Amino acid sequence: MKNTLLGGLTPQQFLRDYWQKKPLLIRQAVPGFKGLLGPQALIDLACRDDVQARLVTNQRGKWALRHEPFEPQDFDGLSKKGKWTVLVQGVNHFLPQATELIQRFDFIPHARLDDLMVSYAPKGGGVGPHFDAYDVFLLQGHGHRRWQISTQADQTLIEGAPLRILKDFRVEQEWVLEPGDMLYLPPHCAHNGIAEDDCMTYSIGFRTPWYQELAEQFLVYLQDRIQIEGTYADPGLTLQKHPSEIGPAMLQQVGEAIHKVRWDDEDVANFLGCYLSEPKPHIFFDAPARPLSAARFAEAVQKHGVVLDLKTQMLCHGNTLFINGDAEPVAKASYRVLRELADARRLAAGSALSDEAMGLLYSWYQDGYLAPDTRRRKI
Ligand code: SIN
Ligand code: CO
């Protein structure tokens, strides 16, 4: 079957010619796609206390932005007051079909994935012209959206606006997307999406973390792991003229001690695995209310296979599995099979599992990170 997702391009061709380089419009990327949930279901999600959501309104040209928490009444009668749009992050944490949709983008490493955001806007709604520090695939669900884009270098924002809106947006290209059409945008490509009618857009977003953020977080990671022996000592102290001055001998001694802070590629990999698999602060896992015994669990896994919870983030490197911010180094055989789980978010029934791998699966099951795959699945 022809791969429609990238408009007939192979993932290799897409990565070579478009990824992080230039926009790509793909008509009927997902043929027959009408969306995964309706406007009311999205608003219901926005009102949950474990969801990040935003409501953007525009009344007579005046932008306003509100974040969660929301009550259903917040969405009553909005259209009478002006244009509006609601945007809900992490929809893949709640809908299995949304996780399946994201899995179609497996040609991009999971370490780059952020989440699936879904927006709903009645006619005229949108969030204004802006740019994101993100790679994003904008898949049109229900309705139609006019996308205008620009590769302009001027990224000056309107000062004082509650959301990031470009001061001078110069449209270079525009298209109206229909259900199933998709637009890929590299980071910093200016864009403006306007709902042509009742419109839902699915944004599959890939993060591009700031080096500053990574470096700061790496230092946080490192602070629990460094071990520098000894204490400051100055048996050769000589009299200083100004007691308030930090003397050169002290500087040198402390400088040498600090230079003993060392890290290697393994520390960087471990940091990345833990940091990038760490759930966002509002995410919680539900441990099973009446957990199976280890033996029953093992039987269920052999019979049904196992599936990651929709909120679980799992990465791997070297011989280490990273799951929801924790690192688990394992033997090679366990690593191979658990990497399958990380890749596909499920393990087939009858998979050959070492005692070590089964033990880990059981502890992750007790944490609510995964469960036996007893859900009936369409083939
Ligand atoms: C939207 O879905 O309305 C906005 C998505 C975006 O511009 O990033
Ligand atoms: Co955007």
Q: pLDDT (tens digit, 9 = 90+) per residue, 302-313? A: 999 999 999 999
Is residue 297 within 8 Å of 365, Cβ to Cβ? yes
Tokens found for residue 229: 């022996």
User: What pLDDT score does 5 carry?
Assistant: 97
CA 128 to ligand 1 centroid distance, Å: 9
Best residue among 42, 119, 165 to mutate for probing ligand 1, ranked by most atoms within 8 Å of CB: 119
Question: Is the shortest distance between the CB of 126 and ligand 1 below 6 Å?
Answer: yes
Strand-pair partners of 372: 306
Per-residue pLDDT of 200-223, as tens digits, reads 999 999 999 999 999 999 999 999
Does the CB atom of residue 119 touch ligand 1 within 6 A?
A: yes
Ligand nearest to the CA of 133: 2
Q: Is the CB of 191 under 6 A from ligand 1?
A: yes
- In sequence order, what DSSP letters do the residues of 279-304 get, joined into one string? PPTT------SSPPPHHHHHHHHHHH
User: What pLDDT was estimated at residue 215?
Assistant: 97
How far apart, in whole angstroms, are the C-alpha atoms of residue 63 and residue 80?
Answer: 15
Share of the chain above pLDDT 90, in %: 96
Ligand index nearest the alpha carbon of residue 148: 1
**Is the CB–ligand 1 distance for residue 201 below 6 Å?**
yes
pLDDT at 1 over 60: no
pLDDT digits (tens, 9 = 90+) for 11-65: 999 999 999 999 999 999 999 999 999 999 999 999 999 999 999 999 998 999 9
> Looking at residue 376, what is its pLDDT?
60
Residue 89 Cβ contacting ligand 1 at under 6 Å: no
pLDDT at 377 > cutoff 60: no
Average pLDDT over residues 268-295: 96
Distance from C-alpha of 92 to C-alpha of 349, rounded to nearest angstrom: 24
What is the rounded average pLDDT of the residues 130-137? 96
Atom of ligand 1 nearest to the CA of 117: 2
Above 80 in pLDDT, residue 378? Answer: no
**How buried is residue 339: exposed, middle or buried, by Cβ count under 10 Å (0-12/13-18/19+)?**
middle
Nearest CA to ligand 1 atom 5: 203
Report pLDDT digits (tens) over 224-271: 999 999 999 999 999 999 999 999 999 999 999 999 999 999 999 999
Q: Is the pTM of this model over 0.85?
A: yes
The arithmetic mean of pLDDT across residues 64-76, rounded, is: 96
Residue 379 has pLDDT above 50, yes or no: no
Tell me the DSSP string of 327-346: EEE--HHHHHHHHHHHHHSE
Which residues are near ligand 2, the ion (C-beta closer than 5 Å)? 132
* Site to substitute for ligand 1 among 83, 127, 137, 164, most atoms within 8 A of C-beta: 127
Q: What is the pLDDT of residue 375?
A: 74
